[in-house]
Structure 1
Amino acid sequence: MLKVFGTMLHDPNLWLLNRRSAKGAFGIGLFCAFWPIPFQMALSAALAIPMRVNLPLAITTVWVSNPITMPPLFYCAYLVGSTVLGTEMSHFNFELSWAWLGQSLTTMGPAFLLGCLICSLVAGAIGYFSLELVWRWSVVKAWEERRRMKREDV
């Protein structure tokens, strides 16, 4: 499936873990986690490769949304979309049928998809900047530990 990207897969940034590639991968993975589509991992890989961020981390981070967490995440997205659009939330009974899906897309679909977009942008940004802060904090702590060890040696 990744053959489409050809030699782009040979880029070392896709496989190395550094600050830039990690925070970008984390942001992409969280962004893709809120999209109600099959193959979120493929979308994450398709974004990570041209952006030259860590591919395994981008794909793995998508699993924030898994079969257990998807219902609350998507319900939250629906709440956000309904609030932004100012529409009344409709109650529904889930049915596994094309008729129910078609009817739901026309009534709840716009609020749900807008909520997914907003939540994915916010989660991606929070993930990106949070990992930046955590990375910087760990580097500062490591330097402080080195200084402390150096002083103890003297």
Structure 2
Amino acid sequence: MFERFLPSREAITQSRMLRWLGPRIHDPLLWHINRRAVARGVAMGVFFGLMIPIAQIPAAAIASLVLRGNLWIAAVSTLVSNPLTYGPIYYFAYRLGAGVIGTRTPPDLTPEDVEAPIRMIDSLAQAWAWVSGIGQPLLVGMVMMAVTGSLIAYWGAQLFWRFKVVNKWRRLHRERRARAASAARRPLGSA
């Protein structure tokens, strides 16, 4: 379904902008769908999707080049965070980081501080203190969520792949037994 919107492997490997990557871009693990490459791609995509708010896809692509994960899966997995989920993700990350660090929520700005023109400089200082107070707990929470999310994504992809392979093997085994049983029930003269 998505293949029609994505550039082909040949288009990417022949791109002049990516020529500096040399033979690294031709690595089969970047393009093939196998258990290890997909699990690495999902883990990198989720890590960078939860860790950084901008340039997630290029960061995941560079990491997949270095760690030999599936490039497409890494890029698509960054969509775990998107404009609809940024708010809840960063709020949860802040609350998680604040709980770990032990900081309390920064005080809210009162309307009186914003209305008084003489106290505008003070309110700007309060706003700056409020924003800078968010930084450390938010960063700690984002790192914790990104590492935990990537580990869960890696092992989840591994388990999902294993589950699909085992189910396929069981289904094929059942079909073989059913064919063998139906062949055994047929009379010898009929074919």
Question: TM-score if structure 2 supplies the norm length?
Answer: 0.72
Question: Which residue identity is paired with 1:90?
Answer: P
In the TM superposition, residue 4 of structure 1 has moved relative to its aligned partner by: 4.6
Give yes or no for the alignment of 1:12 onto 2:36.
no
Equivalent positions of 1:78-89 (< 5 A) are: 78-89=94-105
Number of residues of Structure 1 aligned to a counterpart in Structure 2 = 150
Counterpart position of 1:138: 164
Classify 1:89/1:6 alpha carbon distance in 2 versus 1 (closer, same or farther; 3 Å): farther
Equivalent positions of 1:1-154 (< 5 A) are: 2-90=18-106, 103-154=129-180
> Which stretches in structure 1 are left out of the alignment for 5+ residues?
94-98
* Secondary structure in 2 matching 1:87: coil
In the TM superposition, residue 38 of structure 1 has moved relative to its aligned partner by: 1.5
Question: Which residue identity is paired with 1:56?
Answer: W
> Which stretches in structure 2 are left out of the alignment for 5+ residues?
1-16, 110-124, 181-191
CA contact (8 A) 2:51 2:143 kept: yes
Question: Which residue identity is paired with 1:53?
Answer: G
Structure number with greater Rg is 2
* Secondary structure in 2 matching 1:143: helix
Percent identity between the two aligned chains: 31
Question: TM-score if structure 1 supplies the norm length?
Answer: 0.89
Question: Which residue identity is paired with 1:71?
Answer: G
Q: CA RMSD in A?
A: 2.2
CA contact (8 A) 2:107 2:130 kept: no
